[in-house]
Amino acid sequence: MSDSDKRIVSIVIPVFNGSQTITKLVNECIQSFEEFFDLEIILINDCSEDNSYDVCLSIQERYPSTITFLSLSKNFGEHNAVMAGLHHSSGDFVVTLDDDGQNPPQEALNLINYAVKENLDVVYSYYPKKKHNLVRNLCSWLNGKVASLMFRKPAGLYLSSFRSMSRFTVQEIIKYDLPYPYVDGLILRSISNIGTLETKHKSRISGKSGYTFKKLFRLWLNMFTNFSVLPLRIASFFGFVFALLGMLIGVFTLYERFLNPNLPVGWATIAVLCSILGGVQLMALGMIGEYLGRIFLGMNRQPQFVVRELHSRSMEKFHK
């Protein structure tokens, strides 16, 4: 195959405090892909707290024909950073890859080859044994269960951040311009031609995961409130159940009072019921408020991401 016949592959890598791993990862990507594809690597610095900006900039200067480097103006989160990378990708296939080095780039090549062989729009990786810590594995399991409920995720599909997507899929995803993206939700609501492939998963080279419980909770909120009205239906269901329960207890209290007129009033029961019903009401109001708040922020055009600097692989530099 001549160079002119090579298909383009874009590798999108969000970087957050990845200065110790990103250079090795980029070098491995270039070594794995340059023989088979016209490679484009997009690095997105999500306002890292270490010197990732300087490291990524030096990588871009070393490989100006391969690397596109975006520096965001604040920490928007992984999925927002990925969306920024997808907007600036041009590949026939786009691979999203974490900056921690746990996914070997050679496996990315396998994802693409499998997508071509099976004519798939999206191929997710899954691992025989994950090298994440216990909390991260537990959160991933919970994330998968919630996604199954919210998006009717196919059984056995593991939603990994290491995935290959077709150009058609990427074009559909980037139509979403609201401030709280969830990439897997955007895939599942648009595409059904999805496959999985077992890949290796290495231990983290250095540092620790940037996913705190706070960030994972924010990700779950994005999943709940941006792509389904199921939480509102659940709140309505609980409201109905507890209202029915209150009516049954009221009937039972009247019945007991009729049988024994001297029966003392059940203050403890009333207090418990008030607490339960008050909690359900506050939960429902809070969920409604979350939906309304996101609608408000969307109408006020809160940005999905803001690119402070763009160093493209054609060596042109822009500033926003």
> What is the residue whose two structure tokens read 């499998």?
114
Whether the CB-CB separation of 315 and 64 falls below 8 Å is answered with: yes
pLDDT at 58: 96
CA distance 303 to 319: 16
Q: Which two tokens stand for residue 124?
A: 């997710």
* pLDDT reported for residue 99: 92
Looking at residue 255, what is its pLDDT?
Answer: 73
Q: CA 36 to CA 30: how far, in whole Å?
A: 10
Residue 289 has a pLDDT of: 75
Query: What is the H or E stretch that residue 14 is in?
Result: strand 8-15
Structure confidence at residue 28 (pLDDT): 94
Contact criterion met (CB below 8 Å) for 316 and 308: no
Residues 6+ apart with CB under 8 A from 150: 185, 223, 224, 227, 228, 230
Coil, strand or helix at 35: coil
Q: What is the DSSP string of 283-320?
A: HHHHHHHHHHHHHHHHHTT--S--EEEEE-TTS-EEE-
Rounded Cα distance between 68 and 81, Å, is: 14
Q: For the chain, how many helices (H) and strands (E)?
A: 10, 9
Question: Tens digit of pLDDT per residue, the chain (320 long)?
Answer: 445 457 899 999 999 999 999 999 999 999 999 888 999 999 999 999 999 999 999 999 999 999 999 999 999 999 999 999 999 999 999 999 999 888 899 999 999 999 999 999 999 998 876 655 565 656 666 666 666 666 667 777 888 889 999 999 999 999 998 888 989 889 988 888 999 999 987 766 665 655 566 666 666 666 666 666 667 767 777 777 776 776 677 677 677 667 776 766 665 567 566 767 776 777 777 777 777 777 776 677 788 999 999 998 764 443 44
Q: Residue 123: helix, strand or coil by DSSP?
A: strand
Identify the pLDDT of residue 31: 93
Is residue 119 classed as helix, strand or coil in its secondary structure?
coil
For 108, the token pair is 């990315």
Q: In angstroms, rounded to a whole number, what is the distance separating the alpha carbons of residues 216 and 29?
A: 28
Q: What pLDDT shows up at residue 240?
A: 73
What backbone torsions phi and psi does residue 130 show, to the nearest 5 degrees? Answer: -85, 145
Cβ-contact 134, 205 below 8 angstroms: no
Residue 280 pLDDT: 72
Cβ neighbours of 315 (radius 10 Å): 10
Place of tokens 């940037």: 210
Instruction: Give the sign of the dihedral formed by CA 245, CA 246, CA 251, CA 257.
Output: positive
The reply to whether CATH 3.90.550.10 applies to domain 3-227+303-319 is yes
Q: DSSP letter string over 174-237?
A: TT--SS---HHHHHHHH---EEEEE---PPPSSS--S--HHHHHHHHHHHHHHS-SHHHHHHHH
**By the 8 A CB rule, do 92 and 5 touch?**
no
